[in-house]
Structures are given as C-alpha cells and as structure tokens.
Structure 1
C-alpha cells in the first residue's frame, strides 16, 4: 500500500495500538517484520499510520502478539478497513489539510458535536459568502483559483447535519462578539445571521449566545470543539492555533473540556432568548 502523506486519526490510532501490542509482547520491529516477511520500514510506517495494513497482515501480527481478545481484534480490523475506504473528502486532498480531513472523517461518525466560538460562526453553520471572506482573509490565505474548491468542500461537510435521524446533535455556544462581526460587510452578515436563525430551529441543532454582560466565563482561553463519537472513550477535542488544527484525545483533558462546555452552556442565554438576540442584531444591519 502506498504511504499516506497525511494519516488520519483512525490510522494513527490503529498504528499506535499495534505498536503498544508489539511492545507489550516484548517483540522488536525486526521480529514483526519477519512475521510479515517485509522490511522494518514497513512496520514503522504501519505503526505511524503512514501505511495501511491488509486483513491477512493484521491477523498475522495479532497472532504473533498473542492477542486472544476477539472484540479487540474485530475493532482493529474495522479500523483497518475504514482506513482503506475512500470518502467524498478524499477528492479534495489537494485543498484540505490533513487535520481538516481528520475532522470531517470524525464528524461523519459522530453522535454529538459541541462548539464554543468567540469570533467566528462555526464552519458547519456558515453561508458560502461568509466562507469566501474567511478563506480569502483568514489564516489559510486561500489563492483565488482554489477558493471555490474550499467552499465546496466545506458545503459538503455541512451535509452531515442534513442526514435525518442519523445527523449528530449539534450544540453551539457563541460569544456575542461573533454576532457583531462585519466579515464581508452588512449584507453578508445579515444573511449569515438569518442562516443561523434558520439552522437553530432544526430539531437537532441548538444555538446559545453568551452575552457581553456575563462578567466571567470559562471560555477565555479561546474556541474549541468536541466531537462525541459512539464510544465515549474515543471523544476528541479540536482546538486551533494560528497555523494548525490540534486534537486532544487524553481522557482527563477531554473530560475537562466537556465540563467547560457544560459551564458555558449554563452561563449562556437559553435557545429562545438567544434567537431573539440574533434576530434583533440582524434587523439593525
């Protein structure tokens, strides 16, 4: 299998688990390579997620590592199979960063998505014109000839919210500053706020606003998102820096972010008053 330029989180997890099993069995990379009759470099690439692994190869390694837990074996086989499957975002590999592709993959599997935003409307709720402004002026600095590809990629990402009962539950808390932004001018912002109102009335979407009048809150360190997966122990937190997207997977840290989000929701206006505030601000534009 050809090496991946940007291994997904699923592939990284699979590789990390295989490395842990190998080391737990007291085996070296040399021994694992002998099991598969391959070079050491291939084992290293598998364990870092750069190479996929075939079903027969996985079975051979698990047997060599002394794995007898059928549930663990099946879970790893599922991860390996998912890593070989091509999804719609694979077509956008030239314009989607590895971190963003990871996010899309996780969102497609999620039961719940939580987002705390301090400056921007979250990507799942953005209008195309709002996206264009951000892509031109944001940290990505997208060239004009790639702009529409980025917009199409994000619009396809938003389809996750339109999948009926299979759609994840989206809970968003916005600091009031998000609503006062002037990205693209009054018309773009008016349409964006109207879209927020429309989306917030969907059954599985909740939008709350944390007003300026709140004297203190737990979100002062910046925006973050939580991807709630079917297995709660696999939940992931997304944060962003000026140049990259970072993921937090440590259980204790993820739990801390979940508590922080619950506290932000409790401090924010309820869904009804939040919508009233958004409507009021939209009418002033």
Structure 2
C-alpha cells in the first residue's frame, strides 16, 4: 500500500497503538518486519501513520504481539479499514488542510460534539453567507472558485446533523460576543442568528450563551471542541492556533477539558433563555 503523504489522525492512532503493542510484546522493529516479510522502513511508516496496513498484515502482527482482546483487535481492524475508504472530503483535498480533514473524519464517527466558542459561530451551525465572510477575511487573496469550494465542503460537513441514524449530539456554549459580532454586516448576521435559533430547537442540538455579565469563567484560554467517540476509541480535543489545528488525546488532558466545558455550561444561560436572547438580537438587526 503506498505511503500516505498526510496521515490522518485515525492512521496516526492506529500506528501508535501498534507501536505500543509491539513494545509491550518486547519485539523490535526488526522482529515485526520479519513477521510481515518486509523491510524495517515499512513497519516504521505503519507506526507513524504514513502507511496503511492490510487486513492480513494486521492480523499477523496482532498474533505476533499476542493480542487476545477481541474488542481491541476489532477496533484496530476498523481503523485500518477506515483509513483505506474514500470519503466525500477526499474530493476537496486541494482546499482542505490535513487538520480540517482529520476533524471531518472524527466528526463523522462521533457520538457527541462539544464546542466552546468565544468569537465565531461554530462551523456546523454557520450559514453559507457567514462562511463566505470568514473565508474572505482569513485569506484576502482567495480566488472566488476556491472560496466556493470551501463553502461547499463546510456545508457537506454540516450534513452529519441531518442524518437520522448517525447525527451526533451537539452541545455548544457561546460567549455573548459571538452574537454581537458584525461579520458581513446586519443582513448576514441576522440570517446567521436566525439560523442559529432554528438549529437550537433541534432535538439533538443544545445552544447556551455565556453572558457578558459573568464576572469569571473557565473558558479564558480560548475556544476548543471535544469529539466524544464510541468505545473503545479515545475522545479527542481540538484546539486551533493561527496556523494549525492541534489535537489532544491524552486521557487526563481530555478529562480536564470536559470538566471546563461542563462548568461553562453550568455557568451559561439555560438553553431556553439562550434561545430567547439569540432571537431578540436577530430581531434588532
């Protein structure tokens, strides 16, 4: 299987698990290479996510590593299979960064998504007009055709909320400043707030607003998102810098972020009061 130029987070996690299993079994890369009758470089590429792995190869390695946990073996097989499957976002490889493609892949498998936002409406709840303003502000030299590709990609990403069988639960806490921003002017913001209010009424969507009047809160270090995945996979936290998307998978750190999010939700307005505030601000525009 050819090496992946930009390994996804799923491939990195699969490779990391295989490395840990090999080390726990006390085997060297040389020994693993002998199992697959391949060079050491291939094992290294598998363990760093640069190479995928075939089902027969994975089975051989798990036997060599004396893995008897059927649930773990099935989870790793699922990861390997997903790494080979072509998903809709592959069509947008020229305009989607590796980090963004990783996020879409994670969201497609999530049981629930939690988002704390201080400046922007989260991507899953944005209108196309709002998206266009953000993409133009982010890259002033973006060609119009590329901009529309970004909009189509994000709109397709939002489709997970419409899937009656797999729609994840979405919990959002917004700092009130998000609602008062003037991205694109009154018309764009009125449409965005109206859409936000409509989405907030969905059964599996919860939107809360943390008001200006809150004198202190736990979200001062900036926005973040939490992807809660089905067992036995590990939940993931997403944070962003000016130039990249970062993912946190350490259990203790993820637990800390979950605690912060729960505290933000406890401090914020109730979903009903938040909906009334969003509607009121939309009417004023």
Check whether TM > 0.5. yes
Matched, 1:201 2:201: yes
After TM superposition, the score normalised by the length of structure 1 is 0.96
Aligned to 1:84: 84
1:226-266 CA-to-partner distances (Å, cap 9, x unmatched) read: 11111276111111111111111111111111111111111
Deviations along 1:180-227, one digit per CA (max 9) or x if unpaired, are 111111111111001001111111111111110111111110001111
Question: Residue in 2 aligned with 1:214?
Answer: 214
Determine if contact 1:14/1:47 at 8 Å carries over to the other structure: yes
The equivalent of 1:278 in structure 2 is 278
Partner residue, 2:36: 36
Contact 1:139-1:243 at 8 Å conserved across structures: no
User: In the TM superposition, what are the counterparts of 1:25-64 in structure 2 within 5 Å?
Assistant: 25-64=25-64
Equivalent residue number for residue 266 of structure 2: 266
Q: Which moved more, 1:228-237 or 1:167-176?
A: 228-237
Match of 1:75 in 2: 75
CA RMSD between the two structures: 1.5
Contact 2:72–2:232 under 8 Å retained in 1: no
Tell me, in whole angstroms, the C-alpha distance in 2 between the residues paired with 1:274 and 1:67.
Answer: 49
Distance, in Å, in 2 between the alignment partners of 1:217 and 1:141 is: 37
Q: How far, CA to CA, are the matches of 1:109 and 1:136 in structure 2?
A: 30
Moved more, 227-236 or 151-160: 227-236
Shift of 1:155: 0.2
Alignment partner, residue 173 of structure 1: 173
CA distance in 2, matches of 1:5, 1:141: 26
Q: Following TM superposition, by how much is the alpha carbon of 1:27 offset from its aligned partner in structure 2, in angstroms? A: 1.8
- Is 1:21 equivalent to 2:21 in the alignment? yes
Contact 2:11 2:52 in 1 (8 A): yes
Q: CA deviation at 1:177?
A: 0.3
* Distance in 2 between residues matched to 1:26 and 1:78, nearest whole Å: 25
Gaps of 5+ in 2: none
Taking the aligned partners of 1:221 and 1:139, their CA distance within structure 2 comes to 25
The count of corresponding residues between Structure 1 and Structure 2 is 285
Counterpart for residue 230 of structure 2: 230
* Secondary structure in 2 matching 1:34: helix
Residue matched to 2:147:
147
State TM-score, norm by structure 2: 0.96
Q: Name 2:125's counterpart in structure 1.
A: 125
Q: Secondary structure at the match of 2:2?
A: coil
- Deviation string 1:63-96 (CA, Å, 9 cap, x unpaired) is 2222233332222112111111111111111111
CA contact (8 A) 1:136 1:143 kept: no
What secondary structure, in the 3-state scheme, does the structure 2 residue paired with 1:109 have? coil
Q: CA deviation at 1:101?
A: 0.9
SS at match of 1:26: coil
- Kept in 2: contact 1:135–1:141 (CA 8 A): no
